[in-house]
Amino acid sequence: MNPKNSVDKWPPVKGSAVPEPVTTSKEQIGASKRTVEKLRDLLRLAEKGDKDAVPEIRQILREHPDLARRFVHVAHIAEDALIEKMTKEGDLATREIMRYQLEAMREEIAGENASPLERLLAERVVATWLQIQLFEGLYARGMFKSTTIAQGSYHQKRLDQTYRRHLSAIRALAQIRKLLKGGAITQINIADKQINTTG
C-alpha cells in the first residue's frame, strides 16, 4: 500500500464508519474499539510487507466488512492524487481543507438516507467536478504561456471530455433517483448483500 494512503491519513467517511453497537454497554463499545485498534496495527504491519498480518486482516474484515471502507477508500486514492497535483508541495493545510470540502459535497449531493447507488454516483459527480477544476487551471495557465495550437487544442479537448463525463454522472444520478422514487428499482437482501433490481 502506498505510504501516502496510510491508514492514519484519511478522515472518517460519513455513512461508512463502524456501526455503533445496538446497546451502549461498555463491554461492547470496548470490544469495537479494540477491533479497530487491532486492525489499524495489522494494516501498519502489512504496509511494511508483513505477510503474517494478512490472514488476520482478512478475518477481521470478513466479520466487520464496513471497516474496509473506513480505512482505505479506493475513490479517495485517485482523489488525493489530484489534490496533490493542484496544491503546492508541502501545503498540508489546503489539502486537508479540500478533502473535507469534497466530503461535504459528497454528503450534500447524496442526501440523507441515500441508497448505495446514489452514494456511488455522488462520488462520481464530485470526482469529475474535481477533474474539471484541475484541467481548467492547467488550461488557464497555458493561455499565458507560449503554447502551440496543437497543445491548446489538446487541453481544450481534455477539458471538454471531462465536462461531458461530469454531466453524464449528474444525469445518471438524476435517473437513478427518479427510478427509486417511482419504485422502478427495489432493494432485496441475498446472503446479507443488498442487490438492486429493476422492474
pLDDT digits (tens, 9 = 90+) for 2-12: 444 444 444 44
| Domain assignment of residue 154, yes or no | yes
> How confident is residue 35, by pLDDT bands cut at 50, 70 and 90?
confident
What domain range includes position 177? 86-198
Q: Are residues 154 and 61 in the same domain?
A: no
Biggest CA-to-CA distance, the chain: 68
Q: Are residues 95 and 137 in the same domain?
A: yes
pTM for the whole structure: 0.60
Q: Are residues 103 and 170 in the same domain?
A: yes
106 or 14, greater pLDDT = 106
pLDDT 10s digits, 81-136: 889 989 998 889 999 999 999 999 999 999 988 998 999 999 999 999 999 999 88
Where among 71, 102, 119 does a domain terminate? 71
88 or 148, greater pLDDT = 88
| Domain assignment of residue 106, yes or no | yes
Q: Are residues 144 and 193 in the same domain?
A: yes
Q: Are residues 59 and 110 in the same domain?
A: no
Tell me if residue 102 falls in helix, strand or coil.
helix
| Domain assignment of residue 76, yes or no | no
Q: What is the mean pLDDT of the chain?
A: 79
| Domain assignment of residue 78, yes or no | no
| Domain assignment of residue 51, yes or no | yes
Q: What is the pLDDT of residue 54?
A: 92
CA distance 72 to 157: 33
Q: What is the pLDDT of residue 183?
A: 64
Q: Say yes or no to pLDDT of 79 above 60.
A: yes
Percent of the chain with pLDDT over 90: 32
185 or 197, greater pLDDT = 185
Q: What is the pLDDT of residue 141?
A: 77
Rounded to whole angstroms, what are the CA distances from 3 to 45, 48, 66, 75, 82?
A: 12, 9, 22, 16, 16
pLDDT 10s digits, 21-30: 445 577 777 7
Q: Are residues 53 and 91 in the same domain?
A: no
Residues in the chain: 199
> How confident is residue 15, by pLDDT bands cut at 50, 70 and 90?
very low
Q: Are residues 142 and 108 in the same domain?
A: yes
Q: Are residues 95 and 184 in the same domain?
A: yes
Rounded to whole angstroms, what are the CA distances from 198 to 15, 110, 111, 175, 176?
A: 25, 20, 22, 13, 11
Number of domains comprising the chain: 2
Q: Are residues 127 and 150 in the same domain?
A: yes
Where among 39, 71, 103 does a domain terminate? 71
Q: Are residues 11 and 101 in the same domain?
A: no
| Domain assignment of residue 16, yes or no | yes
Q: Are residues 45 and 95 in the same domain?
A: no
